[in-house]
Amino acid sequence: METTTLAKENTTRLLHRAAALGYRIDCINPHGACPITCTPVAECTPAVSYTPETGWVCHTASNEQVTVSELERIAEGYQRAAALITAFEAATDLAPYTRP
């Protein structure tokens, strides 16, 4: 199956959006059970993952004590995770991708 120019452009946009939010996309398999895998690379950025049963989810931290400034950074991380999940859910017509 040939990858269209639109799919390549959509994939490039999604890679850049993920990077701007503090994530590295490791793999895009549009027809796989887990369409996208990614790794958080920015500080206080939670992991996100996908399963067919739950869809996209954000992993939460353990019950630990944090300062107000740490809490603010954690909250910003969760906002980035939510924005990434929104971008993943809206993404259509993606090209296969594997991080080199």
Identify the CA nearest to 48 among candidates 99, 3, 87.
Answer: 87
Range 52-57 average pLDDT:
93
Q: Residue 98's Cα: distance from chain center in Å? A: 14
Name residue, tokens 């017509």. 93
Task: Read off the pLDDT of residues 2-29 as tens digits, 9 standing for 90 and up.
Answer: 678 999 999 999 999 999 999 999 999 9
- Give residue-wise pLDDT tens across range 59-92: 987 678 889 999 999 999 999 999 999 999 999 9
